[in-house]
């Protein structure tokens, strides 16, 4: 598998640069990527590097005693094995998995947890079933084979216990139609999946942005203080997560993106200028690789390809 590229120093061995962060005593963050000049799979454009590793990706586990709830299985089997081993070393004998949504970089490690409960909402299970062939047979590079499917599904909301800690799973139609976010009421923490991404959301469903705005509004009424996203800055995640301004920054970005359809001048702005206000306020942080995400977002919304 891509031996030549593996010997290139720009390509890190899968899992070798993963950092285990502890934003809260009972929360593990498995963070990888956002390392200048580094890729983890290939020099060519691919979902693992360009959709996750280059931008930075974090998955999480809530741990109490022998129980753990793993929020997404990361970008490769190597990553998932590190997660499972880390939890095992911490005394976990009974991990369960929750999937935030159906996208590749959140489910690629499922196979490592095939003997465990893998929970998702019905929409995620349906989307994975629809994309299974594509994931397994090379419609995506790297392929995810076998794609291990969720074995417990729910509709809308589900409340779980991890030891004595209550965890609320809630459907959120933001970024993808099938999002599941996790609320930890005792700590006031929201695990946001890809519904909030620092500095900007990745537009995967351009025709549904109005619906995403509705659910951003709904989410902003919930009671929590800190936000842990799956794509964000490691130092912020390590220190307990983003504050609630993160939601408003995302909402404003999406609203402005929609205006690009009528305002070509806006569509031509780079991310630094486009999101200047939110960046200056400290609600989100500039990260240069997101210029490419922004360019792609503008193209997705306007239907036009830029220069
Ligand atoms: Zn996603």
Q: 7 CA distance to ligand 1 centroid (A)?
A: 29
Which of these, 45, 51, 91, lies nearest to 68 by C-alpha position? 91
Q: 119 CA distance to ligand 1 centroid (A)?
A: 17
3-state class percentages of the chain: helix first, strand second, coil last, to nearest 5: 35, 25, 40
Evaluate whether 195 touches 169 at the Cβ level (below 8 Å). no
Q: 216 CA distance to ligand 1 centroid (A)?
A: 16
Q: 177 CA distance to ligand 1 centroid (A)?
A: 10
Q: 175 CA distance to ligand 1 centroid (A)?
A: 7
Q: 65 CA distance to ligand 1 centroid (A)?
A: 30
Predicted TM-score of the model (pTM)? 0.95
CB atoms closer than 10 angstroms to residue 217: 11
Q: 230 CA distance to ligand 1 centroid (A)?
A: 9
Q: 298 CA distance to ligand 1 centroid (A)?
A: 17
Q: 111 CA distance to ligand 1 centroid (A)?
A: 19
CA distances from 85 to 74, 97, 236 (A): 14, 15, 25
Instruction: Look at residue 304 in the predicted model and tell me its pLDDT.
Output: 74
Q: 103 CA distance to ligand 1 centroid (A)?
A: 5
Burial of 18 (0-12, 13-18, 19+ CB in 10 A): buried
Q: 270 CA distance to ligand 1 centroid (A)?
A: 22
d(CA 286, CA 236): 13
Q: 164 CA distance to ligand 1 centroid (A)?
A: 30
Reported as a single tens digit per residue, the pLDDT across 29-66 is 999 999 999 999 999 999 999 999 999 999 999 999 99
Q: What is the pLDDT along the chain (307 residues), one digit of tens a residue?
A: 454 455 567 898 999 999 999 999 999 999 999 999 999 999 999 999 999 999 999 999 999 999 999 999 999 999 999 999 999 999 999 899 999 999 999 999 999 999 999 999 999 999 999 999 999 997 889 999 999 999 999 999 999 999 999 999 999 999 999 999 999 999 999 999 999 999 999 999 999 999 999 999 999 999 999 999 999 999 999 999 999 999 999 999 999 999 999 999 999 999 999 999 999 999 999 999 999 999 999 999 998 765 4
Q: 121 CA distance to ligand 1 centroid (A)?
A: 15
Beta strands 57-64 and 19-24 are unpaired
Q: 91 CA distance to ligand 1 centroid (A)?
A: 30
Q: 95 CA distance to ligand 1 centroid (A)?
A: 23
Q: 201 CA distance to ligand 1 centroid (A)?
A: 9
DSSP assignment string, 128-175: HHHHHHHHHTTSSSS--SS-PPPSEEESSEEEEEETTEEEEEEEEEES
Q: 276 CA distance to ligand 1 centroid (A)?
A: 24
């Amino acid at each position: 598998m891509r031996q030549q590229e593996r010997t290139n120093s720009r390509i890190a061995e899968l899992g070798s640069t993963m950092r285990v962060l502890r934003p809260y005593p009972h929360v593990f963050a498995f963070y990888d990527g956002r390392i200048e000049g580094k890729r983890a799979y290939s020099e060519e454009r691919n979902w693992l590097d360009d959709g996750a590793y280059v931008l930075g990706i974090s998955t999480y586990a809530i741990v109490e005693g022998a129980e753990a709830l793993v929020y997404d299985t990361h970008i490769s089997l190597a990553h998932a094995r590190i997660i499972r081993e880390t939890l095992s070393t911490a005394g976990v004998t009974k991990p369960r998995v929750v999937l935030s949504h159906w996208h590749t970089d959140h489910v690629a490690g499922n196979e490592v947890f095939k003997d465990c409960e893998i929970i998702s909402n019905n929409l995620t299970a349906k989307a994975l079933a629809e994309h299974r062939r594509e994931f397994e047979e090379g419609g995506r590079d790297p392929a995810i084979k076998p794609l291990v499917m969720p074995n417990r599904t729910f509709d809308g909301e589900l409340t779980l216990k991890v030891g004595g800690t209550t965890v609320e799973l809630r459907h959120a139609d933001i970024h993808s139609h099938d999002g599941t976010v996790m609320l930890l009421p005792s700590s006031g923490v929201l695990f946001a999946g890809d519904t909030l991404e620092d500095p900007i959301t990745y537009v995967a469903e351009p025709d549904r942005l109005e619906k995403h705005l509705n659910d951003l509004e709904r989410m902003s009424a919930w009671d929590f203080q800190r936000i842990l996203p799956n794509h964000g800055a490691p130092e912020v995640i390590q220190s307990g997560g983003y504050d609630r301004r993160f939601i408003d920054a995302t909402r404003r970005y999406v609203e402005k993106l929609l205006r690009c359809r009528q305002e070509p001048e806006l569509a031509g702005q780079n991310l630094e200028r486009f999101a200047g206000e939110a960046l200056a306020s400290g609600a989100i942080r500039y990260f240069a690789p997101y210029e490419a995400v922004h360019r792609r977002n503008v193209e997705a919304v306007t239907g036009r390809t830029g220069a």
